[in-house]
Amino acid sequence: MAKLVGMSLTRRAFAAAAPAVLAATPAAARMGRRPLVIAHRGASGERPEHTLAAYRLAIAQGADFIEPDLVPTRDGHLVARHENEISGTTDVGRRPEFAARRAEKLIDGEKVTGWFTEDFTLAELKTLRARERLPQLRPASAAHDGQETIPTYQEVVDLAEAESRRLKRTIGTYPEMKHPTYFRGIDLPLEERLADALKANGLDSRSAPVFVQCFEVEPLKRFMTLSRARRVMLVAQGPAPVDVTSEAGIRAIAGFADGLGPEWPLVVPIVDGGLGAPTPLVGRAHAAGLQVHPWTVRAENYFLPARLRRGAAPLEHGDAEAVFDALQCAGVDGVFSDFPGLAAKARVHARCS
């Protein structure tokens, strides 16, 4: 009971703050309203992604939301991994006791070889150690390899709640349902499990500090029938299930989602190696009642347009602040970043003309 009471207080604080931090428009952005900082897989530019250490650091750096991508275990627990194939983010490939679990599977039309969460119990996954997925780009993060285990979604929620109380500010979670159609096909559906988890934690409301995101339309529609939590449709550049370059596509998304999560160049395009003028996407989304939370701003030269790179090495940091500024000045309501500390700093000092 104490758990639910604590979360109720957190939700009320979030609801009180929501009008100021969630309703940004281009004009509002120029007057100082600040977009949410969403820690992409935690502070994943500085700690191995989807670990409690990455989430703790993100919160310390000022993140409003921490993002766990969710996949299930064989015994039905939701755990935080970017993919259900875990050879790139754990030491499973070095564990002889699990060598026979290596398999090839067809995941959303692509053949993938490795070790998969759905073939392990939670107890078995907890014996693995997390490691940096991009060690050549992020050697400082790789220095923390082996220090953390795979967290459950419940552990992520518990961390957000504890830090909210300690810091006296609301920390939300922003779970993504990964490969939901695939998992429903093997009788490990994500939607019901996530809805049940939100209800168990007092988070089944539109004012709760939670957004549920997905790249697939039907799972979001299904989730809408199971939970009152807010939903965000993710869209990448290129072919997508819904055309976000048209007003009709935006209106269609508004029929089953509360927000839009576009890849950031869909908001501020890359032109001649630099940043172009904002597209109409934010204005159209706001007109349809949708929040806009673009993803993912990263600091390394490897991920930045040519004119924003600094130095010659891919791992050196370039001018990510220019991307943060451009997105904030375009009126976005939140931004995903692997470097939430940079995002938090940039939103205070945005340079809008």
Share of the chain above pLDDT 90, in %: 88
* Contact criterion met (CB below 8 Å) for 298 and 338: yes
Residues 2-83+150-348: name the CATH superfamily. Answer: Phosphatidylinositol (PI) phosphodiesterase (3.20.20.190)
Instruction: Express each pLDDT in 160-170 by its tens digit.
Output: 999 999 999 99
- Report the mean per-residue pLDDT for the chain: 92
- Give the type of residue at 195: A
Q: Residues 6 or more apart from 61 whose CB is under 8 A from it?
A: 39, 43, 340, 341, 344
Q: Domain coordinates of the chain in residue numbers?
A: 2-83+150-348
User: Apex CA 151: angle with CA 39 and CA 219, to 5°?
Assistant: 70
pLDDT in the model for residue 9? 37
**Quick check: 6 pLDDT over 60?**
no
Q: How confident is residue 352, by pLDDT bands cut at 50, 70 and 90?
A: confident
pLDDT in the model for residue 351? 76
Q: What mean pLDDT do residues 225-237 have? A: 98
**Quick check: 32 pLDDT over 50?**
no
Instruction: Express each pLDDT in 59-69 by its tens digit.
Output: 999 999 999 99
Instruction: Express each pLDDT in 167-206 by its tens digit.
Output: 999 999 999 999 999 999 999 999 999 999 999 999 999 9
